Amino acid sequence: MSGIVILGAGQAGASLAARLRSKGYTGPLTLVGEEDVPPYQRPPLSKAYLLGEMERERLFLRPESFYAENDITLRTGCRVDAIDCGARSLGLGSESLVYDKLALTTGAVPRRLPSGIGGSLDGVHVVRTLRDIDRMAPEMTAGRRLLVVGGGYIGLEAAAVARKLGLDVVLVEAAERILQRVAAPETSAFFRALHRGQGVDLREGVGLERLTGEGRVTGAVLGDGTELAVDLAIVGIGVTPATGLAEAAGLAIDNGIAVDAQGRTSDSHIWSAGDCASFPRNGVRIRLESVQNAIDQAELVADNMLGPGVAYDPKIWFWSDQYDVKLQIAGLNTGYDRVIVRQGEAAVSHWYFAGARLLAVDAMNDPRAYMVGKRLIDAGRSADPAVLADPATDLKALLRA
């Protein structure tokens, strides 16, 4: 029995499987995941779930019964060794799983510290899977000393949760400022002040030289020679797309599994979506790490596997929750040359422009600015920067202009 096989049982894989059935695909459909649990949400893992505010069962995207009811063969705890493009099969140890069409939704894996600088010591954690959080949770107790390595969104969110739980937190970022790769200095400054105001010892322009300890982490030496006593560490230095199987199978790789505008890889029988896939947009190849992209791209790929042949045109947005601040981001700020700050009493938004063209907006506790900015960007429209900067401007009026 062949049919469609989806390799990777995360948000993208689950969305793709459900979409295939809702669009009328009635053939064999198998969803293969390496983890031993059904597909689940990742964003709540390091927030509500770690804080004890969400039960494990609420993480699951669908009840387990959904897969049987929709004739989806869900294979969890299943490690694939190789993809044989010629035979159109997956190797699972001594077993082969044959496909007519294959979708790769393998996601991304967190970057880890090298073992040579203490990355393999007990008490050193990454934030990606349910198992990661279950390992970490018992150690997150008040009064313990946590080192967070990396000042991107993962590191900042981890620091925020740790402070809520009463840990003493030192966060180190090797770059000149936190969020340097993804946000303007204005947004970095906002979150720097937020975290320091919550008691985080935030150090920028200081890298980690090594973690120390015999078997378990007990200390850290920073790039400036500072020595810290620590009880545990969280490493938030980004992710890399999970391309190993695709690359070994001979598929084109370019900052991820390279797909065309419709989601097809260099093999006409194999498709890809989600964090692992890079796709063409505005003349360049990009890869988006977000829940919305995982859902939207997976659903488009499902449609295209059944025949329509529609190009992917993502509506780009992200979010991050830190303390009582909800950051909502619309658009991509790549290529911006100025930032307009719109300051309110309890909210602030940063608007990214390239010349006169609006590229993106970072909205902190400002859902109206996010909503207006997103609608303008999605429509390919802009706004007068001077009007945006005026706190008296009714943002909704910009949508009617």
Q: Which amino acid does the sequence have at 85? A: C
- CA 14 to CA 401: how far, in whole Å? 40
Q: Are residues 294 and 387 in the same domain?
A: no
Spatial neighbors of 292 by CB under 8 A, at least 6 apart, are 315, 316, 317, 318
One digit per residue, the tens of pLDDT, for the chain of length 401 reads 689 999 999 999 999 999 999 999 999 999 999 999 999 999 999 999 999 999 999 999 999 899 999 999 999 999 999 999 999 999 998 899 999 999 999 999 999 999 999 999 999 999 999 999 999 999 999 999 999 999 999 999 999 999 999 999 999 999 999 999 999 999 999 999 999 999 999 999 999 999 999 999 999 999 999 999 999 999 999 999 999 999 999 999 999 999 999 999 999 999 999 999 999 998 899 999 999 999 999 999 999 999 988 999 999 999 999 999 999 999 999 999 999 999 988 899 999 999 999 999 999 999 999 999 999 999 999 999 999 999 888 898 888 86
Within 13 Å, how many C-alpha atoms sit on residue 103's CB side? 36
Judge whether 178 lies within some domain: yes
pLDDT at 400: 82
- Do both 230 and 250 map to the same domain? no
- The Cα 125–Cα 111 span in angstroms is 11
How far apart CA 70 and CA 187 sit, in angstroms, is: 45
User: Does residue 111 sit in helix, strand or coil?
Assistant: coil
| Spatial distance between the Cα atoms of 149 and 162, rounded to a whole number of angstroms | 13
**pLDDT given for residue 308 in this prediction:** 80
Residue 188 is classified by DSSP as H
- CB 393: neighbour CB atoms within 10 A? 15
| Domain boundary, last residue among 205, 235, 265 | 235
The last residue of a domain, from among 189, 215, 235: 235
Q: Beta partners for 82?
A: 91
Which amino acid does the sequence have at 315?
Answer: K
- pLDDT at position 1: 62
CB atoms within 10 A of CB 197: 9
Same domain, residue pair 16 and 94: yes
Strands 95-98 vs 89-92: parallel, antiparallel or unpaired: antiparallel
Query: The pTM is what?
Result: 0.94
Encoded tokens for 96: 């082969």
- What single-letter amino acid sits at 102? L
Are residues 105 and 245 part of one domain?
yes
Structural domain contains residue 316: no
Helices and strands of the chain, counted as H and E runs: 11, 26
CATH code for the domain of 180: 3.50.50.60
Chain mean position to CA 178: 17
- Is 319 contained in some domain? no
* Residue pair 50/157 in contact by the 8 Å Cβ criterion: no
Residues 129 and 222 in one domain: yes
In this structure, the answer to whether residues 21 and 67 fall within a common structural domain is yes
* Range of the structural domain that residue 169 is part of: 112-235
Q: Tell me how many domains the chain contains.
A: 3
130 belongs to a structural domain: yes
Asked, for residue 310, whether it belongs to a domain, the answer is no
Q: Is the residue at 121 inside a domain?
A: yes
Shared-domain flag, residues 119 and 211: yes
Domain boundary among 203, 235, 267: 235
Q: Closest Cα to residue 291, out of 325, 314, 267, 271? A: 314
Which strands form 284-286's sheet, in the order they lie side by side?
257-258, 277-281, 284-286
Q: Could you tell me if 273 and 367 lie in one domain?
A: no
Model pLDDT, residue 45:
93
Are 55 and 93 within one domain? yes
Q: Residue 311 domain-assigned?
A: no
Let me know if residue 315 belongs to a domain: no
| 165 and 191 belong to one structural domain | yes
State how far Cα 129 lies from the chain centre: 12
Tens-digit pLDDT profile for residues 93-107: 889 999 999 999 999
What is the domain-level CATH number for residue 359?
A: 3.30.390.30
Q: Are 12 and 299 in contact (CB under 8 A)?
A: no
Q: Is the domain of 132 the same as that of 222?
A: yes
Q: Name the DSSP letter for residue 2.
A: -
Q: Please check whether residues 144 and 198 belong to one and the same domain.
A: yes
